[in-house]
Amino acid sequence: MGSILTNAGAASALQMLRSLDSQMSGVERQVATGLRVEQASDNAAYWSIATTMRSDNGALSTVQDALGLGAAKVETAYEGIAATTDILAAFMAKVVSAQQDGIDKNKIQEELEQLKQQIVSISNSASFAGQNWLRSDMQGQAGEAGAKTSVVSSFNRSEDGTVSVGTIDVDLSKLALFKNGGGGILQKEPDPDLGHGLGTIGGLLGFSTSGYGDVPGPVFDQPFTITKFDVVTVAFSVGASNDTFVITKSVVDQALGGEIGYGFDGDIESTADWAKVLQQATFLNKAPSDALLTAQGGTPNIVFRAIIPLAAELITVQPPVHTRTLPPEGIDILDIDVTDPDIDFPTITLVLDEMQQKVISAGAYLGSLRSRIAMQEAFGNGLADSLDRGIGRLVDANMSEASSRLKALQVQQQLATQSLSIANSDAQNILSLFR
């Protein structure tokens, strides 16, 4: 049926042409941008995922920059530690040579002073981005606030969408050559009596007892610290068997150091802590065949208890003996003077060797940090590339397919235009009937 009022063919052709124009617009945008999903309206789910992943990738880029900054700090500290190791070796050689008879100790001391100044210069200069890990402003022991720093190492997004930043902790107490208040690798130890002094050693000093079964132990009175200089030896007997137990910083650290919230600092804070330390000394540090006695947390204090085969035997605990292997303040490398007539060369040599071992350990610690940061950088680069590829799979356009599609749509558009032209000529055909 022909009609001059309604041209169904033209309407159909026009509708097809509009559809093709819309499709061409989308394909041309894909070709121009390279993206199959550019806007949320293209695919809301994929657009949301890709946008989040792009944000995460930007955060990862910042993390990589932070890792580079951390690596530079580690390198700077390592160079300072390596140089200090060489100087300490020379320092030790000079001190050893000063012990020879007939040698001019004044000249050796002049050389030592130059080495001291060089160590101080190194510790002052090993700074990067305003941080100096070899000469910190830390106070006191390693477990206190301010003794650590960190390097940003990762950006993490959990399954529920929450984000967090991972860090690599750096224990500055292992690196600081000098600290305010003492306690650096090359300094005297802080005076242990300034806070957690031994006092009565948790009630053990002057304590003695005897009895059967659960024998009341020392009454814990106040927190205290067993330093590396302290050795507490207690003689005891169970029946006819005699033995001793020894409490040192190592024993305290074995008993408490691995627990959450405790540092390897020799601190004993409570009755429960003290019972664990006594058990470590009396039972856990001995072979099963050698153990005679153990210590248990009582109510409210501590009890000594014989092992089961000796449960009926008399327990006798003697007063402890407390000694210090070195003066509590230790030795500061800057105070060493080989011209001092009262100098204790064996002690000086012992402390210098201990300092050198600590510096070597600091170098090894920095080396492990450097290795870990390098591995994290490599992983971060790989992860960023993986995210880029993942985003591409979601939203990138297939350019070969888009190009072919565009050409096909152009042909269809031309055909639709021809179809519209033919449909529009129907009115002329009808008009010719009336001529």
Pairing status of strand 267-268 against strand 209-211: unpaired
Q: How far is CA 51 from CA 254, 325, 388, in A?
A: 50, 64, 11
Tell me the torsion sign for CA atoms 50, 53, 55, 58: negative
Res 121: pLDDT:
92
Compute the distance between CA of residue 203 and CA of residue 278 in angstroms, rounded to an integer.
12
d(CA 173, CA 182): 11
Q: Evaluate the omega torsion of the peptide bond into residue 300 and state whether it is cis, within 30 degrees of 0.
A: yes
Question: What does the DSSP 8-state code read for residue 234?
Answer: E
Q: What is the pLDDT along the chain (435 residues), one digit of tens a residue?
A: 566 566 666 677 777 777 777 777 777 777 767 777 777 877 788 888 788 888 878 888 888 888 889 999 999 999 999 999 999 999 999 999 999 888 899 999 999 999 999 999 999 888 888 888 998 654 434 334 446 788 888 888 877 778 888 888 888 888 889 876 677 888 876 654 444 667 777 888 888 999 999 999 888 888 888 877 789 999 999 999 999 999 998 999 999 876 666 667 788 888 989 999 999 999 999 988 889 999 988 767 899 999 988 989 999 999 999 887 665 556 889 888 999 887 888 888 888 998 999 999 999 999 999 999 999 888 888 888 888 888 777 777 767 777 777 777 777 777 777 777 777 776 676 667 766
The C-alpha atoms of residue 49 and residue 394 are separated, in whole angstroms, by 8
Structure confidence at residue 181 (pLDDT): 61
Report pLDDT for 108. Answer: 94
Look-up of token digits 């000093």: 205
Give CA–CA dist 144/181, Å, rounded. Answer: 13
Return the CATH fold of 47-191+330-388: f41 fragment of flagellin, N-terminal domain (1.20.1330)
- Of 232, 146, 227, 145, the closest CA to residue 192 belongs to 227
Provide the residue ranges of all domains of the chain, joining segments of one domain with +: 47-191+330-388, 195-324
In this predicted structure, what is the pLDDT of residue 398?
A: 66
Helix (H, G, I), strand (E, B) or coil at 266: coil
Six-digit token string for 5? 């009022």
